[in-house]
Structure 1
Amino acid sequence: MRFAIVVAAHLVAAATATGVAGYTSDVLHVSPDGRGSLCTAQAPCALTTARDRVRQEQGDVVVELSGGTYRLTSAFTLGPQDSGRPGHSVVYRAAAGQHPVFSGATRVTGFTKVDAAKNIYRAKVPKGSESRDLFVDGTRAQRTRSAVNPPGFSTTATGFTTADGSYADWTNQSQVEVVNDNAWKQMRCPLASITRNASGGSDLMVDPGCWNNNHSNVPNPGFPFNGAGLPTLNGISWIENAYQLLGTPGQFYLDGAAGYLYYVPRPGQNLAKADVELPTTQELVDVSGTPGHLAPLNDSDWRATYTGSWGYQNGRPLGDLGGDVHYTSTDGDSFSYTFTGTGIQVLSETNSDEGTIDVYVDGAKTQTVTAATSERLAQQAIVSVTGLAKGQHTLKLVKTGGQYMLVDGVTVIPDVVNPVHDITFSGITFAYTTWNAPTAEGYVDNQAGVLWDPTTRSPIRIPAAVQVHRGQRITFSDDTIRNLGTSGIDLADQTQDSTVYRSTVTDTSGIGVAVGEVDDYYQTQTALMTSGNTVSDNTIQFVGQEFADAVGVLVGHSRNTTLSHNDIGYTPYSGVSIGWGWGWASSCDLQAKQGLPQPCAHGSTYTGGNHVVGNHVHSVMGELNDGGPIYTLGGQASQSEFTGNVLGECINGCNAIYHDEGSSLWYTHDNVVKSIGGSLWLNLWTPTIHDDTIQNDFTDTDHYNNNGTDITFQPSTVVPDGNWPPAAQAIIDAAGPDTPKPALVDDDDLRIAYHGSWSSSGSRNYGDLDNGVHYSQQDGASATITFQGTGISFLTETNSDEGKIGVTLDGTAEPAVDANTAQRGAQQKVFTVKGLPSGSHTLTVSKIDGTYFLVDGFELIG
């Protein structure tokens, strides 16, 4: 059953808004060069002017954007004051037939050739320009980089060394970056220097702080922030951002200090006519309620006062925040904390030896709580005080019972809980951003686009071009998010009941869509939880183009989040990552069965009730390892559902349905897994994965792993030849977005049915459509597509190891075509038919002879 999505933009047909100061307007009109304050179709105003006018309106308000480029040097900001009035909404939408673009880039012109031998062009940019990204005619350019896995490097105490002395001659050495892909992580560090050593080689000294974070002392707090694995930066996958590496078409180098941009054009590009966009802005839209991000402070915070006979224990392996606690065994001892804000939460351990605690706020006793439980649980919010008048307050806890009272941390709520709400963005393109922090600090990866802050070593995320902080009923519908040096959309800081619907997110450096946080696992207050969000009917592709650990959709801790009928593909790591915490929420008994240290780090989470339904996730794991199309992590507090998904085409091997460490209470059923080669269709690798139900799935492989605990498991129905039974075919037909399908059909499109023995191959770099193909070595293997239109072309590779291809159109055999050529050719249209009667047609192509038969795609003709 499809989840019904109600989008505010579709409900606002003709808003009637009566303003103040004599203005009466149904719709406010803006344009990129708007001015004045009338905001009419004849005299449109600027975007910020319309925003300020909205604040004066009382009913539904539509801000209609004319086409063109809105160049932003800072984010367009909306706060609680910009929300829809009670029962009403504010809609920012494209005018009919118009295509407004919010851009964070500067257009660069005036290129001249400066190196004929290498075809290098140069243009002036403002001195001090900073950017890690460049886009030419809408296509991402690549920062200069070396070959992959350059030979001859070895690790030293401060970086790397090589016998090649030429590196020591490189210019702007502190701008050079070393990159290391290792398992599920990508790590980056700038260099401090390159020097010629006594042997005539080069010593690459990595920035000491980044080297410490990524190599010598990688953050490893354990549950609930990361697992036991610690890949480190211990090799060079490539070297990036040196002028001396220029020469490859499509690569660029920015010398911001000198004020020059260098670029090597691709074949056919004319830089006198090309649209060259240099992103300089990190964020395009910021929709923020209050308070902002809430994160716990450790018990050793300087504002904490401990009165009485308190002890302090550091290095406890029990899951304490920061690995330490303050504790007392004396009744009457107290803990006090003075803060400025509207509330506070206190984290403690609960256990059988804990007892009662009196809570005082500003000198008045407000409640008595107990920390006594039968099971030890770390980082529990035993006290939550909210709704105070904003100002300075003092919280005091007094031990009144039990053997111990522990204090592990506090979370201060600095402002009133006031979400920004009821705002829709519809039909808008958000493009061209950059994120420059890694240039100076490096990229300290944890997993899936969640990083460690280089200074505080606390969890952070790749920033997004469009950010929502503490929103309610914020909707993005029919938008395009593309060409970003950041992530796409982030529904952050306990955003609720918000939607990303029928939009396209493509070509991002980071995550496509992010939902929720990874550091609010302890939350007990419903108003402070991520909940009720929906990501539905979107196309999310080619994420992680700079930071390869990024995923299509990341969901941290959340309640009742729905990921429904999305098409997610062409990712360097997993397609979807949902959940966090590893085995944190699994019992100590199960952690012991996994072989984890005892006594264990064990706590709880509010995550649960999530739905992953009807998604098509494909062509994943293009660069890193240990992931899959849809990956779950950590415990659920209530049952979540994983159903109707079609998963396939793992490039570097994967686990198609990957319920990783701690995953629990998943009802996983009626999914289809195809074209994953020798990978596992299901991986439950360890006992902390527990109480899941797996049944009624269809796969083309029988490879799986089930080492979970209390798993209700039914082996899949194995269909090796593509002749899916009706129940499986119904799942395939229903998966993905309910939107018009593109005319260019890639080989992993669900409209193509493969019969016989087939495999897929991605990241081939041979010029394939979307860089991948399906292939067969079995004579008679076939691919069939049913389409609407008047014609079609079949795209394949031609080469000396390929042969004749049979063609059948609407049940009638056509003359065979030949894919055998002396030289390799990509995306070759070996069969085209035009002029068919408008309507439904079926084309089948099949292998007759040759070693290989490749399907790269089809192009439909209206």
Structure 2
Amino acid sequence: MKPTIRTAVLAAAALAATVLPAGAASATSAASAARPGPTVYQAAPTGSGDVCDRARPCSLDGARAKVRADIAGGMDRDVRVELRGGTYPLTAPLALGPDDSGRDGHTVTWAAAPGAHPVLSGGRTLTGWTRNHDGTWTAAVPAGVTARQLFVGGRRATPARGAACAASVCHATKDGLTGAVATGIARWARPTDVTAVIKVRWRNYQCRVTGVSGDVLTFAQPCWADSSSGTGRTGPSWDTTTVDSTRYTGVAWFQNAPELLDTPGEFVWNSAARTVTYLPLPGQDMRRDQAVTPATEQLAVLDHAHDLDLTGIGFAYAAYHQPDTADGYAGTQAGLTLTGASGPADQSGRYYTKPSAALTVDGGRDVHVQGADFTHLGGAGAVLQDGTQHSSVTRSRFTDLSSGALYIGDTDPNPAPQLAGTDNTVAYDTIDHAGVEYTDAAGIWAGYEAGLTVDHNTLEHLPYSGVSVGWGWNQPGAQQSVLRDNHITDNRITDVMAVKDGQHDGGAIYTQGDQPGTVISGNYINRSAYGNTERDGNGIYLDEQSSHITVADNVLTRLGYKWISNWADYGIQNTATGNWTDTDAPALAGTGSVATGNHTRLDTLPAQATAIAARAGADGPHVEPLPADLARAGTATQSATDGTATAANAIDGDTTTDALTLSGAGSWWQTDLGAVRPIDRIEIWNDATMATADVDVSISATPDFARATTVHLGGKALRPSILDHLHARGRYVRITATGTGPARIGLAEVRVHS
């Protein structure tokens, strides 16, 4: 088994503590003293000198020229470029390649100067704002810039958006959508600036309107064709999640129309006038607060660079141009898209397109990014691809990104050795609020990688999967690949598969493909698809052909569905052992897969589980305790039982089993706690068919409910719906269908907390 970072650090510490033979210490010190210090160059945002020293710092380009000259003359020491604090506005990326790389045992480092916070920025500051009579403000946008995102005072603005449009109104076909009349788009001033945002299961589509004819909307091509069924490029199984499939439920919203600009914090881009109009949040003043729109797409590109470090550098306001083109955003999975009007049959996702990133490493060797800060981005944070090997991104921060934080590796299952991603590391990074705009993006995505380490990262507030490793589903071309020996260890992943973002069929940790030697261990997963609208969203999801994976010693709580999912018989020989969770899961369906020695249906976390959770993540212990469940020891009854779905299934600690009554007026389910208890919180988990809707939840000290505390829960119960701050006392908790017609009560779990 490949050692984790933790064991490697311990080994190094043990080696350092070893007593050396007499004279060895002085010899080592002498060798260090003999090694020359690095050559240091200074760069500054306004630097223009050609000496690049403290008195005369140079530009980034000037520093690169000095480094290249040094390398060309032969390296006898390390070279270091120190960036002074401030913003470095870029109209093209900082490009570093073999000529900028270390050699002869020496390294080139681009780093923040001591105490400095340099930021490479692709943004353009908008000035000259004028106030309109309706309280909005308008500013001109520089030529060549499309204002797809806007940040005011460091805060992301929202493209003006409307309400959802159901499939019955916005009916989708291969040619476009109906609904132009009902939505009002037929009367809008600039419909061709409008984008339809559509979500189908795990996929996200964003295509621009190109025309209105009567009630029909047409869209940019090939975006709409690539979002529809029958392309032949994604395989027939993918046609079940296209915009014109039976799983399509409607348009999530239309965006970027002045007619929709009605909420503070929203903006509209006018492509004809080349202006942005913004409705400020309370307290914002456009004469004072800086407004920035991303313009430059990539900020740093390392093309076949090697022995190169980037340390302490910020990346901000990078753009992502593809969604503004005719390709639009035809999502496939995890932030990758289908582009182009034609292409080869691609059922295993070999030719899908990754999002643009602020930092791109192509074919890198021993490239190490440390202490970087990626924020306010229109696309992804960093991409390491095209056979990048022995490289790392560590102790860096990713926050407020339109797409995913990190993309590691590629989509070819069997690349040439020089194009295979091997022995890369993502460790001690913090990822918060990625996938803000493209909600199908994963926090960390890795394709066909070998020897990848994803260790001690903190991921939180994400719309879809947290960590996704592997690719290819069950397609023939992907059944034997370079995937192997990957380690997903000691990460803290919280608040992912966010319900508000409407993405389904993912997990906090998600895998695909046969990955012999791969280990998922020591992770703390809390709140994945918690509060979902259906039974969906897993803790650890061994999807499709995931095989030969060990899942051990993880702690998983507050999950919308299974703590582990290995649903396909062609996902083989997986092992789950020693995990701790507050729910359960059906037996693993994978051929030869086993689950043994797991601690399930917990209503509190034992000390051993708490210790595992406390060690996880990049930023110290953050463990949310499980409150004791008073209902677990109670006695459950219901108005009438449907088959084997008995009342006790709702207090068995397993959210994958259901209680279900027969249909009837006033159907009810209740539990007797055995004694009067203080009750402050009740969790109600709907069943598989989402049968429970519009109910009264009553708490009473007596079985007749003569003096009960009753709260009405309108609409469908979620997984879970939470009734909090009840400040009640009672022995009996009853859930009753309201209304005059027949109804059923279906419950996966009811939890009662004091």
**How far apart in 1 are the matches of 2:477 and 2:318?**
39
Residues 206 and 323 in structure 2, CA contact (< 8 A), matched pair in contact too: yes
Q: Which residue of 2 aligns with 1:251?
A: 266
Q: Which residue of 2 aligns with 1:232?
A: 243
Q: Secondary structure at the match of 2:547?
A: coil
> Aligned to 2:320, which of 410, 425, 435?
435
Corresponding position: 1:645 with 2:558: no
Corresponding position: 1:548 with 2:448: no
Q: Secondary structure at the match of 2:145?
A: coil
**How far apart in 1 are the matches of 2:417 and 2:281?**
53
Corresponding position: 1:509 with 2:402: yes
Q: Where does 1:345-356 land on structure 2 (aligned, <5 Å)?
A: none
CA RMSD between the two structures: 2.9
- Give the residue type in structure 1 aligned to 2:155: T
Corresponding position: 1:575 with 2:466: yes
Q: Where does 1:91-170 land on structure 2 (aligned, <5 Å)?
A: 91-116=109-134, 119-149=135-165, 152-156=169-173, 158-162=175-179, 163-164=181-182, 166-170=184-188
> Aligned to 2:69, which of 56, 63, 83?
56
1:228–1:210 distance in 2 versus 1, CA, 3 Å: closer
1:710–1:157 distance in 2 versus 1, CA, 3 Å: closer
With 174-183 and 700-709 compared, the bigger mean Cα shift is at 700-709
Q: Which residue of 1 aligns with 2:711?
A: none
Q: Could you list the per-position Cα deviations for residues 741-767 of structure 1 after superposition, in whole angstroms to 9, with x for gaps in the alignment?
A: 5xxxxxxx82443422499xxxxxxxx
- Give the residue type in structure 2 aligned to 1:123: A
- Give the residue type in structure 2 aligned to 1:54: V
Give the TM-score taking structure 2 as reference length: 0.74
Q: Secondary structure at the match of 2:317?
A: strand
**How far apart in 1 are the matches of 2:567 and 2:33?**
55
Q: Could you list the per-position Cα deviations for residues 307-364 of structure 1 after superposition, in whole angstroms to 9, with x for gaps in the alignment?
A: xxxxxxxxxxxxxxxxxxxxxxxxxxxxxxxxxxxxxxxxxxxxxxxxxxxxxxxxxx
Q: Which residue of 2 aligns with 1:683?
A: 565
1:222–1:161 distance in 2 versus 1, CA, 3 Å: closer
- Give the residue type in structure 2 aligned to 1:626: D
Q: Which residue of 1 aligns with 2:739?
A: none
Q: Which residue of 2 aligns with 1:566?
A: 457
Q: Where does 1:202-241 land on structure 2 (aligned, <5 Å)?
A: 202-222=215-235, 229-233=240-244, 234=248, 235-241=250-256
> Aligned to 2:486, which of 610, 634, 655?
610
Q: Which residue of 1 aligns with 2:628?
A: 756
1:476–1:14 distance in 2 versus 1, CA, 3 Å: farther
1 or 2, which has the higher helix percentage?
A: 2
1:511–1:546 distance in 2 versus 1, CA, 3 Å: same
1:128–1:781 distance in 2 versus 1, CA, 3 Å: same
Quote the offset at 1:236 in angstroms.
1.1
> Aligned to 1:70, which of 84, 88, 97?
88
Q: Could you list the per-position Cα deviations for residues 541-586 of structure 1 after superposition, in whole angstroms to 9, with x for gaps in the alignment?
A: 21111111101000000110000010111111111110011124xx
Q: Which residue of 2 aligns with 1:180?
A: 198
1:219–1:539 distance in 2 versus 1, CA, 3 Å: farther
Q: Secondary structure at the match of 1:583?
A: coil
Quote the offset at 1:208 in angstroms.
4.5
1:249–1:127 distance in 2 versus 1, CA, 3 Å: same
1:33–1:602 distance in 2 versus 1, CA, 3 Å: closer
1:456–1:52 distance in 2 versus 1, CA, 3 Å: farther
**How far apart in 2 are the matches of 1:529 and 1:3?**
26
Residues 145 and 295 in structure 2, CA contact (< 8 A), matched pair in contact too: yes
Quote the offset at 1:15 in angstroms.
12
Corresponding position: 1:635 with 2:514: yes
Q: Secondary structure at the match of 1:232?
A: coil
1:67–1:456 distance in 2 versus 1, CA, 3 Å: farther
Quote the offset at 1:41 in angstroms.
1.0
- Give the residue type in structure 2 aligned to 1:191: V
- Give the residue type in structure 2 aligned to 1:676: L
Corresponding position: 1:710 with 2:592: yes
Quote the offset at 1:5 in angstroms.
7.1
Q: Which residue of 2 aligns with 1:454?
A: 340
Q: Could you list the per-position Cα deviations for residues 220-276 of structure 1 after superposition, in whole angstroms to 9, with x for gaps in the alignment?
A: 4449xx868543354311111222211211111122431311111111111111121
Q: Could you list the per-position Cα deviations for residues 284-329 of structure 1 after superposition, in whole angstroms to 9, with x for gaps in the alignment?
A: 000001xxxxxxxxxxxxxxxxxxxxxxxxxxxxxxxxxxxxxxxx
1:219–1:108 distance in 2 versus 1, CA, 3 Å: farther
- Give the residue type in structure 2 aligned to 1:543: A
1:219–1:543 distance in 2 versus 1, CA, 3 Å: farther
Give the TM-score taking structure 1 as reference length: 0.65
Corresponding position: 1:671 with 2:554: yes
**How far apart in 2 are the matches of 1:583 and 1:430?**
37
- Give the residue type in structure 2 aligned to 1:160: L
> Aligned to 2:381, which of 480, 488, 513?
488
Gaps of 5+ in 1: 7-12, 19-24, 290-419, 585-599, 742-748, 760-776, 783-800, 804-845, 853-862
**How far apart in 1 are the matches of 2:145 and 2:569?**
52
Q: Secondary structure at the match of 1:453?
A: coil
Q: Which residue of 2 aligns with 1:522?
A: 414
Quote the offset at 1:603 in angstroms.
4.4
- Give the residue type in structure 2 aligned to 1:610: N
> Aligned to 1:536, which of 427, 444, 454?
427
Q: Could you list the per-position Cα deviations for residues 769-808 of structure 1 after superposition, in whole angstroms to 9, with x for gaps in the alignment?
A: xxxxxxxx984779xxxxxxxxxxxxxxxxxx9x9xxxxx
**How far apart in 1 are the matches of 2:382 and 2:438?**
16
Residues 183 and 231 in structure 1, CA contact (< 8 A), matched pair in contact too: no
Residues 128 and 256 in structure 1, CA contact (< 8 A), matched pair in contact too: no
Gaps of 5+ in 2: 11-31, 344-350, 631-652, 654-675, 682-696, 700-723, 731-754
1:156–1:15 distance in 2 versus 1, CA, 3 Å: farther
**How far apart in 1 are the matches of 2:34 and 2:396?**
23
**How far apart in 1 are the matches of 2:267 and 2:283?**
17
Residues 44 and 57 in structure 2, CA contact (< 8 A), matched pair in contact too: yes
Quote the offset at 1:153 in angstroms.
2.5
Residues 582 and 633 in structure 1, CA contact (< 8 A), matched pair in contact too: yes
Q: Secondary structure at the match of 2:625?
A: strand
Q: Secondary structure at the match of 2:541?
A: strand
**How far apart in 1 are the matches of 2:251 and 2:238?**
24
1 or 2, which has the higher strand percentage?
A: 1
> Aligned to 2:55, which of 24, 38, 42?
42
1:67–1:670 distance in 2 versus 1, CA, 3 Å: same
1:720–1:205 distance in 2 versus 1, CA, 3 Å: same
Q: Which residue of 1 aligns with 2:616?
A: 735
**How far apart in 2 are the matches of 1:687 and 1:287?**
42
Q: Could you list the per-position Cα deviations for residues 504-527 of structure 1 after superposition, in whole angstroms to 9, with x for gaps in the alignment?
A: 0111111111100012x123x433
Residues 127 and 256 in structure 1, CA contact (< 8 A), matched pair in contact too: no
**How far apart in 2 are the matches of 1:14 and 1:30?**
28
Q: Which residue of 2 aligns with 1:471?
A: 364
Quote the offset at 1:648 in angstroms.
1.8
**How far apart in 2 are the matches of 1:735 and 1:190?**
42
1:284–1:17 distance in 2 versus 1, CA, 3 Å: farther
Q: Could you list the per-position Cα deviations for residues 194-229 of structure 1 after superposition, in whole angstroms to 9, with x for gaps in the alignment?
A: 23x3xxxx4222235322221243454449xx8685
**How far apart in 2 are the matches of 1:537 and 1:689?**
30
Residues 534 and 563 in structure 1, CA contact (< 8 A), matched pair in contact too: yes
Residues 193 and 270 in structure 2, CA contact (< 8 A), matched pair in contact too: no
**How far apart in 2 are the matches of 1:848 and 1:146?**
35
- Give the residue type in structure 1 aligned to 2:218: M
**How far apart in 2 are the matches of 1:601 and 1:491?**
23
**How far apart in 2 are the matches of 1:628 and 1:137?**
34
Residues 43 and 82 in structure 2, CA contact (< 8 A), matched pair in contact too: yes
